[in-house]
Structure 1
Amino acid sequence: MNLHQFRFVREAVRQNYNLTEAAKALYTSQPGVSKAIIELEEELGVDIFTRHGKRIRGLTEPGRAVLKSVELIMQEIDGLKRIGNEYAAHDSGSFTIATTHTQARYALPKVVQAFTLKFPKVRLSLLQGNPRQVADMVRNDQADLALATEAIVNADGLVTLPCYQWEHVVVVPPDHPLLQSKAITLEEIAAFPLITYDSAFTGRTKIDHAFSLRNLKPDVLLEAIDADVIKTYVELGMGVGIIAGMAFDAERDSGLRSIPVGHLFGTNISRAAVKQGAYLRSYVYTFIELLAPTMNRKLIEQVMNGEKDMYEL
């Protein structure tokens, strides 16, 4: 057996069992991929894939066990390559971050700026998606690190690191009656049409949960993944906005006013996630330290080694 066979098996699964697409992704021929997989099956003495005619349709039970081993082997190979690259050029390379729009727009700019000043030779890329998508990007080796609030904390195959806390704010026009409230309540908020995040983003589950506990069913007029979109429609007078506190800037958003509502919707924690067992380049550690100043390489390595109780916000 050889590494090419392992790569073909892994890519066949990633391409939804389409050997033609797997061959394209690996810059080889479809017959070559098919032959290598059959030879591996013959050597192991088990069928890795179920078949219909000449087409593969899925994994057999032993195939699932084989895939787990293949993933571990390929991860170790990738780690060896990174170690070589680390010592050959510790201050250059590529670094891909998968994140949500809110994090990319409001939390990352200063961190990215500081990072690029420290590592001008590193090619930095940002990929955007919802929390589940960014977790998958790291799992599938499309990104080195994910940053999000929802979904990634218990994602299989990932190690998560708490970075910073934040709370929601209500945003309204300058003459809105909610600004007269001395201690804003959920009932007062629910009396107006709401404009807030899509259900997959930025603490929306906590917003829904808080209203549900009080048996309130607010009128959610509009859902969006972008706080700027939410603020635009609030400025038009269409409703009350609920956004992440980091997304409001009093100077930039001079046409709006914000009301802190952490006491109603609770505290949220944004987390960075890396693939379990991944080898991290030194500049990835630096990026995490810039993102979460209370972190350091020793703490990150302890969490990576399974000591999850070593650090929590």
Structure 2
Amino acid sequence: MNFQQLRSVREAVRLGFNLTDVAEALHTSQPGVSRQIRELEDELGVDIFVRAGKRLTGLTAPGEAVLPIVERLLHDADNLKRAGADYAQQDHGPLSIAATHSQARYALPPAVRDFRGSHPGVQLQLHQGSPKQVAQMLLDGEADIGIATEALAQYPDLVALPCYRWTHAVLVPPDHPLLDGGALTLKRLAEYPLITYDAGYTGRSHIDEAFEREGLTPTLALTAMDADVIKTYVELGLGVGIVASIAYDDERDRHLRALDARHLFAVNMTRLALKRGSYLRAYVYDFIESFAPSLTRKVVQRALDGGKVEL
């Protein structure tokens, strides 16, 4: 048994049983992948995969039982490498961060700047995606840290730590009627076409829930993944924008005006997630604390050990 056999099994499942894609991912040949899988099956004495001719079509019952063990062995091997590198290379190595656009664009820059100043030997990689994609990158081992508002707390194989609370703001052009000094209500908002986040992004669920509670069905003129797109179309007069308050800046967005909407929509919580059972190098703890000062190394370690963390 060897790690290449285990990687062949894991990648076959991850890539939908397409051995051509597996071979490309592992930088080997398709016959080589098939051989690695067959040798492992022969050693275990069971078929891991269901086959139709030479094609893999799914996992057998033994394969379903074997897969979590394979993933755990490979995860532990990665942890072993990180532990060694922590002592051998000290403050050098990669750090992969997966985040939604709002976090990458508005929340992360100060932490990234400060971290780069104190850890110049660390190579940062920033991946953007939906909250579900962020979670999947963590589960697949493609990211060390994931940051998002939605979804992360729903995965049992992730440890999701609270970072900070935030609220929404309403954005309008400078001459909009909502700037007349009257109270901002959901009913008034629903009189205008709205431009806000796609479902599953940046507190969108709280926006929908608020209107539903009032029995209102606003018209959505446009939805988008990120606030910059939303702001562009608000400037064009297509509708009223609802964005994360951190996405508005007086100087940068001088063609727009912001109205505080914290009384209309529930408060949101941004979370930082880690794959359960991961070994974190010392500089990973440093980055986490740079982004969320309340998440000290002691707090993060307690969470990874199963302890509860509250903000």
TM-score with structure 1 setting the length: 0.96
Moved over 6 A (4+): none
Q: CA RMSD of the aligned region, Å?
A: 1.2
Spell out the pairing of 1:102-117 with structure 2 (5 A cutoff): 102-117=102-117
Q: Shift of the alpha carbon at 1:276? A: 0.9
Q: Shift of the alpha carbon at 1:41? A: 1.5
Q: Shift of the alpha carbon at 1:29? A: 2.3
1:283 alignment counterpart: 283
Are 2:222 and 1:204 equivalent residues in the alignment? no
Distance 1:216 1:107 in 2: 32
Are 2:139 and 1:139 equivalent residues in the alignment? yes
Cα deviation digits, residues 147-202 of structure 1 (max 9, x gap): 11111111242111111110000011222221234431110111111011111211
Q: Shift of the alpha carbon at 1:4? A: 2.1
Q: Which runs of 5+ in 1 are unaligned?
A: none
Kindly provide the amino acid, as one letter, of the partner of residue 312 in structure 1.
E
2:165 alignment counterpart: 165
1:185 alignment counterpart: 185
Count, aligned residues:
311
Distance 1:175 1:164 in 2: 33
1:26 alignment counterpart: 26
Are 2:81 and 1:81 equivalent residues in the alignment? yes
Identity of aligned residues (%): 56
Distance 2:302 2:151 in 1: 22
Kindly provide the amino acid, as one letter, of the partner of residue 256 in structure 2.
L
Distance 2:160 2:153 in 1: 6
Question: Which range moved further: 158-167 or 173-182?
Answer: 173-182
Q: Shift of the alpha carbon at 1:253? A: 1.1
Q: Shift of the alpha carbon at 1:7? A: 1.4
Distance 2:228 2:301 in 1: 37
2:304 alignment counterpart: 304
Distance 1:27 1:235 in 2: 48
Distance 2:39 2:129 in 1: 38
Q: Shift of the alpha carbon at 1:45? A: 2.1
Q: Shift of the alpha carbon at 1:32? A: 2.2
3-state SS of the aligned residue for 1:201? coil
1:265 alignment counterpart: 265
3-state SS of the aligned residue for 2:264? helix
Cα deviation digits, residues 208-239 of structure 1 (max 9, x gap): 11101111000010111121121121122221
3-state SS of the aligned residue for 1:217? coil
Distance 2:191 2:20 in 1: 56
Q: Shift of the alpha carbon at 1:24? A: 2.0
Cα deviation digits, residues 23-62 of structure 1 (max 9, x gap): 2221222222212212222222221100001111111121
2:57 alignment counterpart: 57
Distance 1:40 1:109 in 2: 46
3-state SS of the aligned residue for 2:201? coil
Q: Which runs of 5+ in 2 are unaligned?
A: none
1:39 alignment counterpart: 39
Distance 1:20 1:252 in 2: 48
Are 2:122 and 1:122 equivalent residues in the alignment? yes
Kindly provide the amino acid, as one letter, of the partner of residue 184 in structure 1.
L
